[in-house]
Chain A
Amino acid sequence: MLKKTGLLITLIVLAIFVALGSVSGESLSGNEVLNKVSEVSEAETVQITFEMEIHGSRGGVRNRELEVLGKEGEREKRLIRFLAPADIAGTGLLSIEENDEEDMHLYLPALDSVRRIVSDEKSDRFMETDFTYNDLALFGGGNYSEDYQAEVLEKTAEEYLLEIIPVNEDIEYSYGEMLVDSNDWYPREIKFYDQSGELYKILTNDEIKMIDSNLTAHKVKMEDVQRETKTILYLTEVSFDKEIEIDKFTVRYLRRY
């Protein structure tokens, strides 16, 4: 009896190993990889503070400091606020997305005025940076699998190279190439191409660390190869799944600085 039980356990364990082996060896589709990328961070809320360096084409550098709040749910909410320098401190962007419809409002403290961002502006550079409003939406809980569809271009033992094609018509890129580490499913590099098919921007995620069970890049670089400029974000503070009052994602709070 004991022998039979031992054999059964051995078979089950073997079956599990075989099954696991077949999964790890199995090729995933592009969209499955993209889903895994999106699942890397499943935090309900995120609160990040960045220091930002904007490098000009002729070598000048401008510095910014900004805070990002994000909350997942039926309505995805993000609030991005500049903390420094003084001339733009307080400038904030509120984004609420529901059923693929994104509603964005910009607050300019100098005018004490909240202005709706029209859809075309979402693909504009955000406050002199190399990030567009849409790029920034990916911080604070944004989801690649909602905005892109993917196909596998190459697969190695360590990495997937995906072609990602935007399904959100507000995104200005024609397509991208995303390099994903298959050990942790975190994207290391994304090359974005413009509507003419020319290489436009390269996003690089570095210094990836586990914070509160969420993988997080502590250095994010967006390089505009056509303009020869780059913007580097250095993560200074981050917290996941901490309670953020729902009131913070309102035009009322956007004004309060």
Chain B
Amino acid sequence: MKFRKKLKDKLICLIVILLLISGLLNSVFTTKVLAADNLNISGSLETGLVLETEEEKFKDQVLFNLVLQNYLTLSSDLYLDLQFHSYRNSYWLDNNFELQELLQSERTNELAIREAYLNYYTDNVDWRLGRQVINWGSSLFMSPTDYFNARDYTVLSPEGQKMGVDAVRGRYYLSPELEVIGVITPYFTPYQLNPEDLYTRIEHFSGEAIGKTGAKIYGLLSENNLIDKESGLNYQLEVDDIEEQLQPQINLKDPGNNPENLQGGMEITARNINGFDISFSTYRGRDRDPAVDKKYLEQQIEELLNDYGTYVETKKQESESEEIKDFDEYIESENLNILDINLLYPRSNQIGVNVIGSLGSTGLWSEIGYSFYEQEQFDNRLEATAGFDHSFPAEIDFSGEFYYQQGRFAGEKNTELLIMRAERPFRTFHEKRLNLLYDLASEQYLIRPELEFSLTDGVSVDLCAVYVSDENELQAIPVSNQVSAGFTVNF
């Protein structure tokens, strides 16, 4: 009770401070865009607090964006988005409401240029040069053809925040209803993840890989007659035993900024074909999601088995069969039980198509992407969405989307998600939303009700809760049960 009271006091203090900041910003900037001839200044301040209810852990953030836009001439302008992000992850508060010294409790402060680019317009081509966010695809929730931008999951938002990439983009208008876009980015920018989230997100990759590895080792041991009564080995050895003995050492390989990470893409869009907009796209670059380097893993297994086989043969030749250790005992005694699980961003060539339009009073869209991997260890994969939205009476907007993604190797599961959202305004300016995510493979689900209160022009408070049916098994979007509050000022 004391904890809860102090928590309440702290939240009230936080809200008061945020309201003061809001008032200050309002008085300094007013709530309108400042315009000084050719210069526009705008921005936003977002604060957020998340309480993970099971473990009573907190996360908080302050996100400040200052946007400057300068119209140089009628055919060119400059855009700059400076971002300050201050956050603290996964900390506990003790009974005196003081921070406890725990893992990752240190505050991180980052100042970054999120976007900085020059727009230059010629007769038929719009050029954009510099760091920018590129949005491709028409799907509402998951977009298989949105190739370029990684997301920053250190930002407290269910979808994270799209990160700008350094790129040159040209948009060529063949006619008002036909356009071609070309993009080249010199570097690969991977997802930005918290260390804790990184482990959660890749845990299932490594778990699957080790499971397969265990099975593979067990199979090979049998094939090579290394598990039988005569050899004196423990034939009761099970796959799970091997799994338990193997300790994964997860390494995420950063591709780095080198020329081989050059990425490029092209999209052609035709509008209003029988009421539908259709795009075809192609991309050459790396996947955003890391995958286990299966080849490297198999090399390690091979070496491990060779070592063990040599050990067994040696012991047999020395007529010491009764002293031969089981495989699991052997790898533990020789400190060979650590497996490097290297995660890499596979190189691929991708093609995609997306369609959006309406049938009667229902909006429809679909997006299909297919990846051809350069490394043989990865299977080509299909990624697709199909969705709809419809407005019902009483101003209820409903949207739903099915998302399918094939695994890239035998150990990586297919992803099948059903995502739904219902939203309705209330008291004119406020909004309530109900989000549902259902993972068809694990039959787990996530429910996220959300209330957004508009306090005045550009100022809002967001209250949200997340309920996950089983925290350990919902791997598609690994989150925990939580409640959160956010406060946003736009100026």
Contact = CB atoms under 8 A, between A and B. Distances in A.
Contacts of A112: 133-135
B429 A62 contact: yes
Interface string B129-173: 000011100100000000000000000000000000000000101
Contacts, number: 103
Given A86-B43, A124-B395, A255-B126, 12 more contacts: A56-B428, A62-B454, A84-B33, A85-B32, A85-B458, A86-B31, A86-B33, A115-B356, A120-B363, A124-B397, A251-B179, A256-B126
Contact of B361 (A54, A119, A227, A256): A119
Given A120-B362, A120-B390, A128 B429 contact: yes
A118 interface: yes
Nearest to A247: B176
B491 A86 contact: yes
Nearest to B134: A112
6 contacts: A62-B454, A85-B458, A86-B491, A115-B138, A121-B363, A123-B391
B284 to A, nearest CB: 23
Interface of A: 54-58, 60, 62-63, 83-87, 89, 101, 103, 105, 111-113, 115-116, 118-121, 123-125, 128, 227, 229, 250-252, 255-256
A9 B131 CA distance: 79
Contact of A63 (B126, B179, B389, B457): B457
A89 B454 CA distance: 17
B425 interface: yes
A62 B395 CA distance: 20
Interface in B458-485: 458
A252 B138 contact: no
B44 interface: yes
A251 B271 contact: yes
B90 interface: no
A62 B458 CA distance: 9
A118 B173 contact: no
| 10 A-B pairs with least C-beta separation | A118-B358, A56-B428, A120-B361, A118-B363, A87-B490, A86-B42, A250-B176, A113-B135, A86-B33, A85-B457
A206 B271 CA distance: 39
B357 interface: yes
Interface residues of B, number: 44
B33 A89 contact: yes
Interface string B387-419: 001110001010000000000000000000000
A168 to B, nearest CB: 13
Contacts of A57: 427-428
B277 interface: yes
Contacts of A113: 135
Given A119-B358, A119-B360, A229-B428, A89 B42 contact: yes
Interface string B252-278: 000000000000000000011001010
A85 B363 contact: no
A217 B135 CA distance: 40
Contact of A58 (B135, B173, B356, B427): B427
B187 interface: no
Contact of B429 (A56, A85, A87): A56
Given A57-B428, A60-B429, A86 B395 contact: no
B363 A86 contact: no
The binding surface of chain B is classed by DSSP as strand
Nearest to B177: A251
A54 B428 CA distance: 9
B276 to A, nearest CB: 8
A63 B459 CA distance: 12
Interface in B348-369: 356-358, 360-364
B173 A252 contact: yes
A207 B124 CA distance: 43
A229 to B, nearest CB: 5
Contacts of B43: 86
B428 A227 contact: yes
A88 to B, nearest CB: 9
Contacts of B330: none
* Most chain A beta-carbon neighbours within 10 Å: one of B119, B397, B425, B458: B458
A119 B119 CA distance: 33
Contact of A86 (B126, B171, B362, B490): B490
A85 B390 CA distance: 28
A40 B363 CA distance: 36
B101 to A, nearest CB: 39
Contacts of A89: 33, 42
Contacts of A119: 358, 360-361
Contacts of B363: 118, 120-121
Contacts of B491: 86
A85 B358 contact: no
A128 B458 CA distance: 13
B73 to A, nearest CB: 13
A86 B458 CA distance: 7
Given A54-B428, A85-B31, A256-B121, A116 B277 contact: yes
Most central of A56, A89, A120 by chain B CB within 10 Å: A120
Nearest to A123: B391
A64 to B, nearest CB: 8
B145 to A, nearest CB: 13
Contacts of B357: 116, 118
A255 to B, nearest CB: 8
B428 A118 contact: no
B126 A85 contact: no
Contacts of B356: 115-116
A118 B134 CA distance: 23
Contact of A111 (B135, B275, B457): B135
A170 to B, nearest CB: 9
B490 A85 contact: yes
B399 to A, nearest CB: 11
A56 B427 CA distance: 7
A186 to B, nearest CB: 29
A229 B426 CA distance: 12
Nearest to B277: A116
B126 A252 contact: yes
Contacts of A54: 428-429
Nearest to B397: A124
A103 B272 contact: yes
Central interface residue in A57, A87, A103, A123, by most chain B CB within 10 Å:
A87
Nearest to B138: A115
